[in-house]
């Protein structure tokens, strides 16, 4: 379906100690547009994961550990240039694995892959450390300063929704800070991490610095990494329940953990909003990537005076979304990631109907009459009329769906938005400047957007509270996680 997908019909290999390696077992990599097999993937065995950890440890001591910041910076820029040079390959691979539209893959996912390497390569050269002059009773004093060292061997476990973007969002700062890494992409989206191994190889990244192991979570590469004695830190993006399992697995080794987890993000639309901007922005925040962005809005609270008008306007937007072939220029939304995930999303649609929802639009699986009927499509869906206790209002669906409820006062809207076990992102739509600051600051989240959504500055703190994560990524927050500050105290 997608033309020129690298390795189509072949096998995606692991990359360990600077070599591309095939193990005994393989699993199929499926295109969610039509259910066809793109290629096979070599699943890493426990022995191969051991070899990856060993080579990563050796590389810490070897050329990577001995390089100057500038040498590492130059190599990471070469990696960014290498991604750009194979831009079309990366776009085709990401589209085939995920079914996302050409527009999205080529304007968001892949450009951010190289941007992540550039920004962290440059930022680390400006990383500072503390210094204190400490008085002592004998009057001589002491000088206390810190030096940043790498954490060591970092396991990077990534999800399937923004595969290259989220993988490189972790790899780039980890490598820039001098660590060596073992990357484990999602079993659903193994391709771009494999292309990245080819780019690393060609760029001359020393053997063992970037290792890639393919596989699943439990009893596979994911668990082998999180329980491995030779892994110093685990950085993970994915479901909150997986985060909890990894936290338990990593507990015995007391590993450093960075978690970006799920969300059940609220959008608050006040009657004093710029109506058109609010409708357009909300449509983007609900339906981008088929609702499969952790920051997507699944709960909307709209002030009662504009409720009906807003619901109708959003319905109009949803019904005008073109759901279809990813390569068509006017396609807004492809399939969700897999048949399994489609079934999960549809089960949520059904539970909403059983709970008495009014289906404003969607609520089903579209029928195309062609190969896409073997894919994993769901309809963009808007619901109203449910209580705050309904499953679809409480739990993360990770699909193109939102529930809209009315509110009367600002206090009520704040309370409704914060009434969640999750705390990743919130969006507030208002033209009242004081209200914008007041409400945004009351949101129990890591990221609150006002009159926009998913506007990124890569230097800002990114992460969630409650079930949505542990720690922050972005700018110095990433560099701090991947660095081990060591205090040097000198008696003067
Ligand atoms: P997932 O948790 O199922 O899988 C993520 C990764 O973890 C995959 O590579 C998987 O193989 C691995 N894994 C699964 N079980 C494991 C285990 N026991 N030990 C080690 N590794 C294991 O998540 P997903 O379905 O790929 O992604 C969707 C979820 O990710 C959603 O909940 C979404 O909100 C969340 N997400 C959060 C953010 C964020 O920044 N907060 C970003 C993207 C996605
Ligand atoms: O844009 C980013 O840096 C980022 N971490 C996005 C996460 C999206 C979640 O799906």
Same domain, 379 and 282: yes
Cα Dmax for the chain: 86
Q: How far is CA 142 from the centre of its chain?
A: 44
Same domain, 45 and 126: yes
Q: Which residue ranges have their beta carbon within 6 Å of ligand 1? A: 157-161, 166, 184, 186-187, 216-218, 222-223, 226, 237-239, 242, 245-246, 260-263, 294, 396, 398, 424, 464, 468-469
- Domain-embedded: residue 302: yes
Mutate to test the pocket of ligand 1, among 238, 263, 470 (most ligand atoms within 8 A of CB): 238
- Tell me what the mean pLDDT of segment 312-335 comes to: 97
- Which residue out of 94, 188, 223, 294 is catalytically annotated? 294
Tell me how far the alpha carbon of residue 464 lies from the centroid of ligand 1, in angstroms. Answer: 15
- Tell me what the mean pLDDT of segment 322-331 comes to: 95
Q: Return the residue matching tokens 């990383």.
A: 127
Same domain, 369 and 254: no
Same domain, 204 and 347: no
- Domain-embedded: residue 377: yes
Is the pLDDT confidence value at 402 over 90?
A: yes
CB 281 within 8 A of CB 453: yes
SS3 for 468?
coil
Tell me how far the alpha carbon of residue 113 lies from the centroid of ligand 2, in angstroms. Answer: 12
Tell me how far the alpha carbon of residue 276 lies from the centroid of ligand 1, in angstroms. Answer: 34
Q: Give the CATH number for residue 289.
A: 3.40.309.10
Mutate to test the pocket of ligand 2, among 162, 258, 337, 481 (most ligand atoms within 8 A of CB): 162
Q: Which atom of ligand 2 is nearest to the CA of 473?
A: 5
Number of domains in the chain: 2
298 annotated active-site: no
- Domain-embedded: residue 4: no
Nearest ligand to the CA atom of 156: 1
- Domain-embedded: residue 79: yes
Same domain, 96 and 195: yes
SS3 for 170?
helix
- Domain-embedded: residue 294: yes
CB 35 within 8 A of CB 342: no
CB 214 within 8 A of CB 40: no
Is the pLDDT confidence value at 2 over 60?
A: no
Is the pLDDT confidence value at 126 over 80?
A: yes
Find the angle CA(86)-CA(92)-CA(93) to the nearest 5 degrees.
90
- Domain-embedded: residue 5: no
Paired residues of 258 in beta bridges: 235
Q: Give the CATH number for residue 472.
A: 3.40.605.10
Q: Which atom of ligand 2 is nearest to the CA of 293?
A: 10
Q: Which atom of ligand 1 is nearest to the CA of 242?
A: 2
99 phi/psi in degrees, rounded to 5:
80, 10
**CB neighbour list of residue 282: distance below 8 Å, 6 or more residues apart:** 267, 269, 297, 300, 314, 427, 429, 453
Find the angle CA(187)-CA(246)-CA(248) to the nearest 5 degrees.
155
Is the pLDDT confidence value at 384 over 60?
A: yes
Q: Which atom of ligand 2 is nearest to the CA of 159?
A: 10
Is the pLDDT confidence value at 346 over 90?
A: yes
pLDDT of residue 141: 98
Tell me how far the alpha carbon of residue 261 lies from the centroid of ligand 2, in angstroms. Answer: 10
Same domain, 227 and 270: no
43 annotated active-site: no
**CB neighbour list of residue 257: distance below 8 Å, 6 or more residues apart:** 233, 234, 235, 236, 246, 247, 250, 470, 471
Closest residue to atom 20 of ligand 1, CA basis? 222
Q: Which residue ranges have their beta carbon within 6 Å of ligand 2? A: 161-162, 166, 169, 293-295, 456, 462
Confidence of residue 404 (pLDDT cuts 50, 70, 90): very high
Q: Token pair of 132, please?
A: 């204190």
Closest residue to atom 43 of ligand 1, CA basis? 294
Confidence of residue 206 (pLDDT cuts 50, 70, 90): very high
- Which residue out of 43, 94, 260, 444 is catalytically annotated? 260
Q: Where are the alpha helices (DSSP H) in 39-109?
A: 46-61, 63-66, 69-85, 87-98, 102-104
Same domain, 181 and 218: yes
Nearest ligand to the CA atom of 193: 1
Closest residue to atom 17 of ligand 1, CA basis? 217
Nearest ligand to the CA atom of 165: 2
Same domain, 202 and 57: yes
Closest residue to atom 14 of ligand 1, CA basis? 217
Mutate to test the pocket of ligand 1, among 109, 184, 236, 239 (most ligand atoms within 8 A of CB): 239
- Tell me what the mean pLDDT of segment 340-364 comes to: 98
- Domain-embedded: residue 439: yes
Closest residue to atom 5 of ligand 2, CA basis? 166
pLDDT of residue 44: 98
Confidence of residue 24 (pLDDT cuts 50, 70, 90): confident
Same domain, 197 and 297: no
Is the pLDDT confidence value at 3 over 70?
A: no
pTM for the whole thing? 0.97
- The angle, 0 to 180 degrees and rounded to 10, between the axes of the packed helices 191-203 and 69-85 is 130
Nearest to 446 by CA among 419, 428, 429, 466: 466
Give the domain extent around 63: 11-261+468-491
Whole-number average pLDDT of the chain = 97
Tell me how far the alpha carbon of residue 1 lies from the centroid of ligand 2, in angstroms. Answer: 28
Tell me how far the alpha carbon of residue 166 lies from the centroid of ligand 2, in angstroms. Answer: 6
Same domain, 356 and 432: yes
Tell me how far the alpha carbon of residue 472 lies from the centroid of ligand 2, in angstroms. Answer: 12
SS3 for 457?
coil
Q: Which atom of ligand 2 is nearest to the CA of 454?
A: 1
Q: Token pair of 373, please?
A: 């009927």
- Tell me what the mean pLDDT of segment 137-166 comes to: 98
Same domain, 437 and 475: no
- Tell me what the mean pLDDT of segment 24-28 comes to: 95
Closest residue to atom 4 of ligand 2, CA basis? 166
Tell me how far the alpha carbon of residue 321 lies from the centroid of ligand 2, in angstroms. Answer: 23
CB 94 within 8 A of CB 192: yes
Same domain, 194 and 297: no
Q: pLDDT per residue over 92-106, tens digit each?
A: 999 999 999 999 999
- Domain-embedded: residue 139: yes
Is the pLDDT confidence value at 23 over 90?
A: no
- Tell me what the mean pLDDT of segment 389-413 comes to: 98
Q: Token pair of 458, please?
A: 């890569």
Q: pLDDT per residue over 226-285, tens digit each?
A: 999 999 999 999 999 999 999 999 999 999 999 999 999 999 999 999 999 999 999 999
pLDDT of residue 418: 98
DSSP single-letter state for residue 473: B
Nearest ligand to the CA atom of 159: 1
Residue 394 CA to residue 217 CA, distance in Å, equals 26
Q: Which atom of ligand 1 is nearest to the CA of 249?
A: 19
Is the pLDDT confidence value at 1 over 70?
A: no
């Amino acid at each position: 379906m997608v033309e020129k997908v690298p390795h189509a019909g072949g096998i995606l290999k692991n990359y360990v100690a600077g070599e591309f390696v095939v193990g005994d077992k393989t699993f199929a990599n499926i295109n969610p547009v039509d259910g066809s097999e793109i290629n096979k993937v070599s699943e890493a065995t426990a022995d191969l994961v051991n070899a990856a950890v060993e080579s990563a440890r050796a590389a810490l001591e070897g050329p990577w550990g001995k390089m100057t910041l500038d040498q590492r910076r130059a190599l990471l820029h070469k990696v960014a240039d290498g991604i750009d040079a194979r831009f079309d390959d990366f776009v085709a691979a990401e589209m085939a694995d995920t079914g996302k539209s050409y527009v999205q893959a080529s304007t968001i996912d892949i450009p951010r892959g190289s941007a992540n390497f550039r920004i962290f390569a440059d930022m680390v050269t400006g990383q500072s450390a503390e210094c204190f002059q400490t008085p002592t009773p004998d009057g001589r004093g002491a000088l206390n300063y810190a030096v940043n060292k790498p954490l060591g061997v970092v396991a990077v476990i990534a999800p399937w929704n923004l595969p290259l973007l989220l993988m490189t969002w972790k790899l780039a700062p980890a490598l820039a800070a001098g660590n060596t890494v073992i990357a484990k992409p999602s079993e659903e989206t193994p391709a771009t991490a494999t292309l990245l191994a080819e780019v690393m190889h060609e760029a001359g990244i020393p053997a063992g610095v970037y290792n890639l192991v393919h596989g699943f979570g439990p009893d596979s590469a994911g668990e082998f990494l999180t329980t491995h004695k030779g892994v110093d830190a685990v950085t993970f993006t994915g479901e909150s329940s997986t985060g909890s399992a990894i936290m338990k697995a990593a507990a015995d080794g007391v590993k450093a953990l960075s978690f970006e987890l799920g969300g059940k993000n609220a959008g608050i639309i006040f009657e004093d909003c710029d109506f058109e901007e609010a409708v357009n922005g909300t449509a983007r925040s609900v339906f981008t990537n088929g609702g499969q962005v952790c920051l997507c809005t699944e709960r909307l609270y709209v002030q009662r005076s504009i409720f009906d008008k807003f619901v109708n306007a959003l319905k109009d937007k949803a019904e005008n979304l073109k759901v279809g072939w990813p390569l068509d220029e006017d396609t807004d939304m492809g399939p969700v990631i897999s048949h399994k995930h489609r079934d999960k999303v549809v089960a949520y649609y059904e539970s909403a109907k059983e709970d008495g929802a009014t289906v404003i639009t969607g609520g089903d699986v579209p029928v195309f009459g062609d190969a896409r009927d073997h894919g994993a499509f769901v309809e963009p869906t808007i619901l109203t009329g449910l209580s705050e206790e309904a499953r679809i209002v409480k739990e993360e669906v990770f699909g193109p769906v939102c529930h809209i409820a009315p509110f009367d006062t600002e206090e009520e809207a704040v309370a409704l938005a914060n009434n969640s076990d999750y705390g990743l992102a919130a969006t507030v739509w208002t033209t009242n400047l004081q209200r914008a600051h007041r409400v945004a600051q009351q949101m129990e989240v890591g990221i609150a957007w006002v009159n926009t959504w998913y506007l990124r500055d890569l230097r800002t703190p990114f992460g969630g509270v409650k079930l949505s994560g542990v720690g922050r990524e972005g700018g110095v927050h990433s560099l701090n996680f991947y660095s081990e500050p060591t205090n040097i105290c000198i008696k003067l």
